């Protein structure tokens, strides 16, 4: 898994932006935004090679090796035009020793992270091309480069590159019953994984998760087959979706030994109703796995010793829930030491050095700020991104694993994102502010600037020519005494003596963050050009302000967030340039849920609301996400039902636009239909837009239409 797939290093070669249709008039449209003409766009993604001195890039079907120091091409590792592979492959990866290159192509999306794809492996030494198969759920190269494990029809297979043979590791896979090697829907969505199998470092053993979802309730939805002109009938798509409080799948962990063909089940504990989302191998070939209870307030990382015994090498508990559990929660440095990310120890997400036998050795970072992600590490240093100077910004640091010799490597204010080469010999930094487009630079691991890759000068000139809307950050204090962060977008020709209608945009979900000091362009910018102000506020329960602030919403998901958005609207109404009678609110997904709550519970504050793909009752949403923050509906009925907009349909006074896709596998259109039923019962009028066969992102077909529709709707209703 992560140990054998080289980290992608994004050298952002930003394309100069030119507004092609409206720039001469000093105005732009949503079409300009949709085409990316106002965005700092990356020219490609590059992969670091093992030596940390070179990277590879796909150039029209040729994989070319470049030198970091000079940026010059060194040689061509493969030209797919001579191998029979499609030029436009989806992705590629090297084996651990870089002797083999595996390609993914002909992909057909399934859910958010999964797809059915074709895979092929190219040998750099012999020039041989092995086509592994088509319609595979996933495939991974063994680090030894001689085998490929893949999943087809819910079963795990191993392909031998030496003789071209296929060996079935499992045979019991069946749709909607047994899954081997890939996650079920809820594991994929909420644990953010697309595979549940991994090779040992020597490539001799394969660990995989077997998921039994036979007892999980199915959720069917109608497919209208709008893209199929030959079909006169609808069809039904049905899959397993565990809703809050309902039965989850049961998982077991297995290991296959390629030397003798044996299969052994790993003891993950007697509890069936638990999560085992992450597992991997230590550098010396020991298997470890995460064990998380149903309420997600107890985490154990268990190590399997060579003699078959087990030890819990890390344990974490919380009276509420443990957030941000991922494969990156633990990283091994060598046979005994490992790095842990933990927020419950001090209330802030920080790094700690542990030993498998001695336990905690020392904290690495500390303070009332958070480590947001680790960029790279070796046995001496860690390179990481944090909020140390401001929760609205991201800075880049290097620190010793002993917690000493910390150095800030980011050299300008704003938000930094960084990708590193192997061993962090080089890194690419991309930084911006809310008013300044991205600058991309290449550095050595100690922070020394090698060269500026792109300063986005052309885009900056374009922005001046089209009178880009004005963006600024602000704060305000709620009646409860909480200081909340926000941003505001005003027209370029803003007149403080005029009164402007305001559309509030927000997401508001637990641990999320919308307000940052970073460059962005969105559909709302086009609305601002029509004489509107757009504002956004992150309420209580959002992220990067410490555990206490984030977990204020525990057990009452949506209640405090709604109060804060209503307070934000009342604050905006006091500004001399805001038309207090024309304040609206918009949101998608969790934000759509919030928009509904605000137009109903804040009926005297909001004139209009747009709700896209909303959750309308947490009883309808999946178990992992919902129960983490809200507990079980069986023990917290009030926390599920009181914040639900379904119970307040009779309060609707303003204008409401409700939108959803019929093929939304994430937030089911059941949510919108139940909300509509309550509005009908209450005799309320509203506007509804349904997108046939569209998913949670309104794909296919609706992504551009929905944003243009919202702009036009605001012009008529706000």
Q: Which residues are catalytic?
A: 589, 664, 696
- How far apart (Å, rounded) are the C-alpha atoms in residues 341 and 320? 18
Q: Using alpha carbons, select from 133, 132, 165, 169 the residue that is nearest to residue 154.
A: 169
Q: State the helix-helix crossing angle for 590-601 and 559-573, rounded to 10 degrees.
A: 60
The residue behind tokens 């509420």 is 320
According to DSSP H, which parts of 62-220 are helical? 185-190
Q: What is the Cα–Cα distance from 300 to 193, expressed in whole angstroms?
A: 19
Q: Show Cβ contacts of residue 356 under 8 Å, excluding neighbours closer than 6 positions.
A: 303, 311, 313, 335, 336, 337, 338
CA-CA distance, 102 to 83, in Å (whole number)? 13
Quote the distance between the C-alpha of residue 689 and its chain's center. 27
Q: CA-CA distance, 638 to 529, in Å (whole number)? A: 43
What are the residues facing 239 on neighbouring strands? 219
Q: Quick count: other Cβ atoms within 10 Å of Cβ 341? A: 22
Which residue is it, tokens 């929905």? Answer: 706
- Name the one residue in this structure whose structure tokens are 């604050």: 571
For strand 138-141 and strand 147-152, is the pairing parallel, antiparallel, or unpaired? antiparallel
Beta strand segments in 421-556, E:
426-432, 439-444, 449-454, 470-477, 483-490, 500-505, 533-538
Q: Which two tokens stand for residue 220?
A: 């069917």
Q: Whose CA is closest to 63, among 100, 118, 13?
A: 100
The DSSP element (H or E) to which 527 belongs, if any, is: helix 523-528
Which tokens sit at 282? Answer: 């230590």
Q: Map residue 358 onto helix, strand or coil.
A: coil
Instruction: Determine contact, residues 250/272, Cβ cutoff 8 Å.
Output: yes
CB contact at 8 A, 451 and 70: no
Residue 405 and residue 384 in contact, taking contact as beta carbons nearer than 8 Å: no
Distances (CA, A) of 187 to 359, 467, 686: 29, 45, 36
Is residue 696 within 8 A of residue 589, CB to CB? The reply is yes
Name the nearest CA neighbour of 331 among 384, 293, 295, 369: 384
Residue pair 474/488 in contact by the 8 Å Cβ criterion:
yes
Report how far residue 208's alpha carbon sits from residue 289's, in angstroms, rounded to the nearest whole number.
Answer: 11
Beta strands, E only, 343-425: 350-355, 359-363, 371-377, 381-386, 395-400, 407-408, 415-420
């Amino acid at each position: 898994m992560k140990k054998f797939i080289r980290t992608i290093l994004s050298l952002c070669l930003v394309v100069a932006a030119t507004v092609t249709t409206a720039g001469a008039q000093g105005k732009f449209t949503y079409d300009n935004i949709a085409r990316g003409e106002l965005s700092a766009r990356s020219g490609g993604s590059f992969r670091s090679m093992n030596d940390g001195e070179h990277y590879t890039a796909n150039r029209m079907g040729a994989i070319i090796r470049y030198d970091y120091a000079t940026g010059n091409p060194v040689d061509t590792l493969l030209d797919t035009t001579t191998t029979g592979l499609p030029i436009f492959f989806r992705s590629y990866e090297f084996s651990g020793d870089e002797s083999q290159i595996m390609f993914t192509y002909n992909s057909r999306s399934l859910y958010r992270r999964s797809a059915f794809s074709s895979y092929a492996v190219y040998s750099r030494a012999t020039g041989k091309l092995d086509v592994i198969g088509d319609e595979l759920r996933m495939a991974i190269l063994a680090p030894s480069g001689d085998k490929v494990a893949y999943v087809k029809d819910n079963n795990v297979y191993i392909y031998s590159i030496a003789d071209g043979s296929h060996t079935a590791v499992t045979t019991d896979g069946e749709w909607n019953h047994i899954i081997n090697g890939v996650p079920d829907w809820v594991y994929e969505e909420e644990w953010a994984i697309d595979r549940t199998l991994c090779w040992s470092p020597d490539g001799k053993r394969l660990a995989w998760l077997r998921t039994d979802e036979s007892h999980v309730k199915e959720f069917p939805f109608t497919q209208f087959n709008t893209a199929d002109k030959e079909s006169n009938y609808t069809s039904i798509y049905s899959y397993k979706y565990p809703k809050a409080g309902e039965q989850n799948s049961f998982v077991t962990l297995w290991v296959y030994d390629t030397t003798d063909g044996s299969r052994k089940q790993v003891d993950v504990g007697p509890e069936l109703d638990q999560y085992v989302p992450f597992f991997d191998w230590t550098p010396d070939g020991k298997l470890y796995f995460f064990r998380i209870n149903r309420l997600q307030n107890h985490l154990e990382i268990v190590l399997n010793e060579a003699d078959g015994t087990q030890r819990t090498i890390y344990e974490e508990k919380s009276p509420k829930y443990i957030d941000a559990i991922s494969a990156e929660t633990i990283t091994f440095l060598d046979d005994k030491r490992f790095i842990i990310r933990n927020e419950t120890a001090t209330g802030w997400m920080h790094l700690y050095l542990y030993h498998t036998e001695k336990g905690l050795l020392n904290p690495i970072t500390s303070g009332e700020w958070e480590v947001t992600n680790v960029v790279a590490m070796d046995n001496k240093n860690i390179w990481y991104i944090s909020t140390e100077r401001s929760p609205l910004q991201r800075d880049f640091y290097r620190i010793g694993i002993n917690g000493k010799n910390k150095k800030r490597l980011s050299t300008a204010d704003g938000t930094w994102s960084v990708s590193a080469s192997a061993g962090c010999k080089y890194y690419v930094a991309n930084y911006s502010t809310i008013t300044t487009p991205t600058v991309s630079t290449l550095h050595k691991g100690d922070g020394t600037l090698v060269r500026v890759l792109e300063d986005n000068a052309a885009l900056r000139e374009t922005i001046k020519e089209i009178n880009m809307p004005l963006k600024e950050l602000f704060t305000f204090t709620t009646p409860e005494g909480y200081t909340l962060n926000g941003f505001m977008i005003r027209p370029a020709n803003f007149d403080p003596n005029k009164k402007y209608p305001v559309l509030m945009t927000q997401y508001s979900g637990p641990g999320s963050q919308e307000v940052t000091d970073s460059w962005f362009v969105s559909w709302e910018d086009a609305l601002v050009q029509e004489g509107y102000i757009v504002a956004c506020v992150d309420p209580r329960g959002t992220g990067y302000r410490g555990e206490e602030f984030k977990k204020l919403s525990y057990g009452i998901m949506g209640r405090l967030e709604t109060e804060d958005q209503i307070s934000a609207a009342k604050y905006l109404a006091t500004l001399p340039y805001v038309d207090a009678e024309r304040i609206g609110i918009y949101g998608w997904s969790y934000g759509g849920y919030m928009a509904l709550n605000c137009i109903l519970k804040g009926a005297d504050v909001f004139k209009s609301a747009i709700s896209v793909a909303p959750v309308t009752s947490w009883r309808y949403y999946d178990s992992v996400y919902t129960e983490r923050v809200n507990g079980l509906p069986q023990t917290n009925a009030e926390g599920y039902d009181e914040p639900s907009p379904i119970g307040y349909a009779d309060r609707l006074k303003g204008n409401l636009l409700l939108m959803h896709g019929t093929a939304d596998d994430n937030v089911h259109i059941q949510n919108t239909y139940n909300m509509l039923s309550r509005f009908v019962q209450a005799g309320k009028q509203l506007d509804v837009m349904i997108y046939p066969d569209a998913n949670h992102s309104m794909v296919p077909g609706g992504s551009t239409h929905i944003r243009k529709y919202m702009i036009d709707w605001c012009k008529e209703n706000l």
